[in-house]
């Protein structure tokens, strides 16, 4: 059984605009799934539907089901979904620029009552992301874009999620940093964390993913193993910059 399952969901904004038109997605309990498509295809909206962040933008799921770990989560608010194990790293990193990396990590631990556990998690994050340990005394606002992205991921992992969702994790990063972020996400997937990422760099995303979904105009267009999507001429023509 899939950890996360979206069954024919529709999302409407302001009770007028139909942004997602019957999309179905499954994410297994471990592995990396890429959600791809052109701007406006509905990718970010789907992540917000899963994490419960549609309401502040006057959006709602008007049809279909979202189940996580076998339970319907549509009635849950965003904090309750985090407690269930769903965490969402929004586009743009959005770290607390006036705080240090350690203080940013602490900001994500209100759900943990065991302070010893918090300390263990922080040490683990600095092991996973040694660059953050190197910059421990710096304010997050002075970190590079890549370092801020690492911090955003580490902060999300402090909640001990079973599903990590990321919206455009490599946007604006140098090629070497893009490779590093993808390598870290691949490592998390291999460590038995489910990862669902929205990414514009489709070819690179599929190269590290287990499975992919391609959306167009709010609908499923292609779905399958990442390797098969890389080799699919129609996907290459429409979304990967030409035929292989």
Residue range(s) defining the domain that contains residue 115: 31-52+76-239
pLDDT tens per residue, range 162-188: 999 999 999 888 888 898 899 999 999
The CATH number covering residue 83 comes to: 3.40.50.300
Asked if the structure places residue 175 within a domain, the reply is yes
For residue 73, what are the contacts with CB-CB under 8 A and spacing of at least 6? Answer: 50, 52, 66, 67, 81, 84, 86
Q: What kind and span of H or E run contains 47?
A: helix 43-51
Query: Is the pTM above the cut of 0.95?
Result: no
Asked if the structure places residue 230 within a domain, the reply is yes
Asked if the structure places residue 93 within a domain, the reply is yes
d(CA 107, CA 86): 17
d(CA 106, CA 108): 5
| pLDDT of res. 241 | 60
Domain count, the chain: 1
Asked if the structure places residue 6 within a domain, the reply is no
Asked if the structure places residue 25 within a domain, the reply is no
| pLDDT of res. 49 | 97
More confident residue, 238 or 182: 182
List the structure tokens of 235.
């996907």
Asked if the structure places residue 10 within a domain, the reply is no
Angle between helix axes 145-157 and 175-190 (nearest 10 degrees) is 10
Q: Is the pLDDT of residue 244 over 60?
A: no
Asked if the structure places residue 231 within a domain, the reply is yes
| pLDDT of res. 243 | 46
Asked if the structure places residue 82 within a domain, the reply is yes
E strands, 90-203, are 163-167, 194-198
Average pLDDT over residues 77-94: 92
pLDDT tens per residue, range 100-115: 999 999 988 877 777 7
């Amino acid at each position: 059984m899939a950890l996360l399952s979206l069954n024919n969901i529709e999302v409407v904004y302001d009770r007028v605009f139909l942004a997602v038109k019957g999309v179905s997605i499954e994410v297994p309990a471990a592995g990396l799934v890429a959600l791809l498509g052109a701007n406006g295809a509905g990718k970010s909206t789907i992540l917000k539907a899963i994490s419960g962040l549609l309401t502040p933008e006057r959006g709602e799921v008007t049809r279909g089901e979202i189940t996580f770990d076998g339970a319907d989560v549509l009635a849950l608010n965003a904090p309750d979904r985090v407690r269930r194990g769903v965490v969402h790293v929004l586009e743009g990193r959005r770290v607390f620029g006036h705080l240090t990396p350690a203080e940013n990590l602490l900001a994500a631990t209100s759900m943990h009552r065991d302070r010893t556990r918090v300390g263990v998690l922080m040490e683990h994050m600095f092991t996973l992301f040694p660059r953050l340990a190197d910059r421990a005394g710096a304010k997050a606002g002075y970190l590079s874009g890549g370092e801020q992205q690492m911090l955003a991921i580490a902060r999300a992992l402090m909640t001990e999620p079973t599903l990590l969702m990321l919206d455009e994790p490599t946007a604006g990063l140098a090629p070497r940093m893009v490779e590093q972020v993808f390598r870290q996400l691949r490592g998390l997937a291999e460590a038995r964390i489910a990862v669902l990422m929205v990414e514009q760099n489709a070819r690179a995303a599929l190269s590290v993913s287990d499975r992919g979904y391609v959306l167009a105009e709010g609908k499923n267009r292609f779905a399958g193993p990442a390797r098969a999507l890389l080799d699919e001429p129609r996907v290459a023509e429409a979304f990967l910059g030409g035929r292989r």
